[in-house]
């Protein structure tokens, strides 16, 4: 079979499964998740063996250490996957929520009710636990999932999928509710993006620049996009010095490789002398390279020169850029020019300044006096997330089970006809 036949088959089966799944009560979906969690624990040794095949192949191909770390499972990570499914079970049912309701003067009663999106295609890279996370969120929200993981994690994902299949089976849910693309052929990604508009309702891509570029080039199906996170921390002149230092340090260094990590610090000119030296010292001590503009370099030692390219760069590494701005408006303007609309934070004691920043900055997440690393579905209390959407359509910010729903209007009448 060629890729188009394989993918069309997956699509048709997913569509059938989605129709059934939309009518499954939450108890049935939760039962599948509970059984899958148990099965992951039971099959732990098998999953780890499959993962070893992937890791060995990746080592042979010389995958770099950070990628190997994402790929490798151990018994703790397998347990975390199972526990992750149990967190999703505890989430409130995202389906059937009455999002709004009202009466019309003619007696019609109108309700807007949450329903599944339908079939969701998920394209991701090396981390095999995404297989479990994404499938669980789709199932919880009544959507059929077509998963397309990275080829490096193919055996791991296939093995994890067996446990999810156990769950569907135990709950008597259509086996195509969770499917995995059974080939590592890269053409499958293109086919999913361009030719499955009839069977896939939305694609959620999760990955690096190559994948994002491909999605922007090829996608003809709706996409919930995840672009890069060029996140800013802005230190207002009223910032508390200790809080400013702690937030910058955490926003950059807690984990440097996530999309909510800060990449640029903006500091008010009037507070630069007071704030910058201490923060640069703390960053350097934590092993972070600081790249500053002329003003920053005049105030503090241990700062390399930043150039125009730095303001555009998502380092995803222990590097941060730092710039002096005249005032809040200039900070907002810098963020508008160089940011990616992901997450920005202001550190300020002045409430009016904070409110102005929160209002004027048009990013998915804006924070006052808190680290940008809170940009996370779990930290938001959503239980789990499939990613942080940077587009403006449908969902923005953390995408959890609730964001994987659409709605329909239910209208109850007593014989009304329109005049």
Out of 67, 110, 212, 241, the only residue in the binding site for a copy of itself (CB under 8 A) is 110
Does residue 369 interact with a copy of itself by CB under 8 A? yes
The region of 42-50, 74-82, 247-255, 274-282 touching a copy of itself under the rule CB under 8 A is 247-255
Q: Does 364 sit near a copy of itself (CB under 8 A)?
A: yes
Give 62 or 381: the residue with its C-beta nearer to a copy of itself.
381
Strands 119-123 and 202-205: parallel
State the DSSP code for 341.
Answer: S
Mention every residue, 6+ apart, whose C-beta is less than 8 A from residue 81: 40, 129, 132, 133, 160
Q: Which is nearer to a copy of itself, 19 or 28 (CB)?
A: 19
Does position 223 interact with a copy of itself (CB under 8 A)? The reply is yes
Cβ proximity to a copy of itself: between 301 and 414 the closer is 414
Element containing residue 102 per DSSP (H, E): strand 98-103
CB of 364 to a copy of itself, least distance (A): 6
Q: Please name the residue that has the structure tokens 């997330």.
A: 385
Task: By CB under 8 A, tell whether 257 contacts a copy of itself.
Answer: no
Quickly list H helices, 127-262. 129-140, 154-170, 187-195, 209-218, 241-253
- Interacting span for a copy of itself (CB under 8 A) from 169-177, 227-235, 309-317, 403-411: 403-411
Q: Least separation, in Å, of the C-beta of 388 and a copy of itself? A: 10
Asked if residue 25 binds a copy of itself (CB under 8 A), the reply is: no
- Residue 407 touching a copy of itself (CB under 8 A): yes
CA–CA dist 360, 251 (Å, integer): 21
Are 33 and 88 a contacting pair, CB within 8 Å?
yes
**Under the criterion CB under 8 A, does residue 305 sit at the interface with a copy of itself?**
no
The only residue of 66, 285, 336, 352 in contact with a copy of itself, by rule CB under 8 A: 336
Q: Where are the alpha helices (DSSP H) in 43-94?
A: 44-60, 65-71, 75-90
Q: What is the DSSP string of 189-213?
A: HHHHHHH-TTT-SEEEE-S-HHHHH
State the burial class of residue 144 (Cβ atoms within 10 Å of its Cβ: 0-12, 13-18, 19+): buried
CA 285 to chain CA mean position, Å = 31
Q: What is the largest CA-CA distance in the chain?
A: 78
Q: Tokens in use for 183? A: 């080939």
Q: List, in sequence order, every residue forming a beta bridge with 62; answer none if it has no partner.
A: none
Nearest CB to a copy of itself, comparing residues 48 and 227: 227
Q: Which of residues 263-302 bind a copy of itself (CB under 8 A)?
A: none
Looking at the Cβ atoms of 24 and 78, the one nearer to a copy of itself is 24
Q: Which of 373, 377, 383, 400 binds a copy of itself (CB under 8 A)?
A: 373
Contact set with a copy of itself (CB under 8 A): 19, 22-23, 102, 104, 108, 110, 115, 117-118, 197, 201-202, 216-217, 219-220, 222-224, 240, 243, 246-247, 249-251, 254, 336, 354, 358-360, 362-371, 373-374, 376, 379-381, 391-394, 396-397, 406-418
């Amino acid at each position: 079979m060629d890729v188009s036949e394989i993918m069309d088959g997956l699509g048709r089966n997913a569509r059938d499964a989605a129709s059934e799944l939309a009518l499954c009560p939450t108890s049935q979906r939760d039962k599948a998740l509970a059984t899958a969690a148990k099965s992951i624990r039971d099959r732990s040794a098998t999953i780890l063996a499959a993962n070893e095949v992937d890791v060995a192949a990746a080592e042979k191909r010389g995958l770099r250490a950070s990628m190997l770390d994402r790929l490798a499972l151990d018994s703790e990570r397998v347990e975390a996957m199972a526990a992750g499914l149990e967190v999703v079970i505890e989430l409130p049912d995202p389906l059937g929520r009455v999002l709004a309701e009202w009466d019309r003067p003619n007696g019609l009663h109108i309700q807007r009710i949450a329903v599944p999106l339908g079939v969701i295609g998920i394209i991701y890279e090396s981390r095999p636990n995404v297989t479990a996370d994404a499938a669980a969120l789709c199932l919880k929200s009544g959507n059929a999932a077509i998963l397309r993981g990275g080829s490096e994690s193919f055996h791991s994902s296939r093995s994890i999928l067996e446990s999810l299949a156990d769950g569907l089976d135990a709950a008597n849910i259509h086996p195509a509710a969770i499917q995995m693309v059974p080939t590592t052929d890269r053409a499958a990604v293109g086919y999913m993006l361009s030719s499955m508009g009839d069977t896939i309702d939305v694609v959620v891509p999760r990955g690096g620049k190559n994948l994002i570029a491909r999605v922007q080039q090829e996608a003809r199906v709706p996409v919930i996009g995840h672009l890069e996170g060029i996140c800013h921390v802005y230190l207002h002149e009223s910032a508390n010095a200790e809080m400013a230092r702690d937030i910058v340090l955490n926003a950059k260094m807690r984990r440097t490789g996530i999309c909510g990590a800060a990449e640029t610090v903006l500091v008010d000119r009037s507070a630069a002398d007071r704030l910058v030296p201490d923060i640069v010292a703390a960053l350097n001590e934590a092993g972070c390279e600081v790249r500053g503009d002329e003003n920053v370099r005049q105030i503090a030692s241990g700062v390399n020169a930043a150039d125009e390219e730095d303001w555009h760069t998502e380092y995803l590494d222990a590097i941060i850029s730092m710039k002096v701005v005249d005032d809040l408006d200039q900070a907002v303007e810098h963020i508008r020019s160089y940011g990616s609309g992901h997450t920005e934070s202001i550190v300020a004691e002045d409430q009016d300044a904070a409110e102005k920043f929160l209002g004027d900055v048009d990013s998915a997440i804006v924070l006052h006096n808190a680290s940008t690393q809170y940009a996370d579905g779990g930290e938001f209390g959503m239980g789990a997330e499939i990613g942080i959407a940077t587009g403006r359509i449908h969902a923005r910010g953390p995408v959890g089970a609730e964001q994987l729903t659409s709605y329909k209007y239910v209208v109850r009448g007593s014989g009304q006809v329109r005049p």
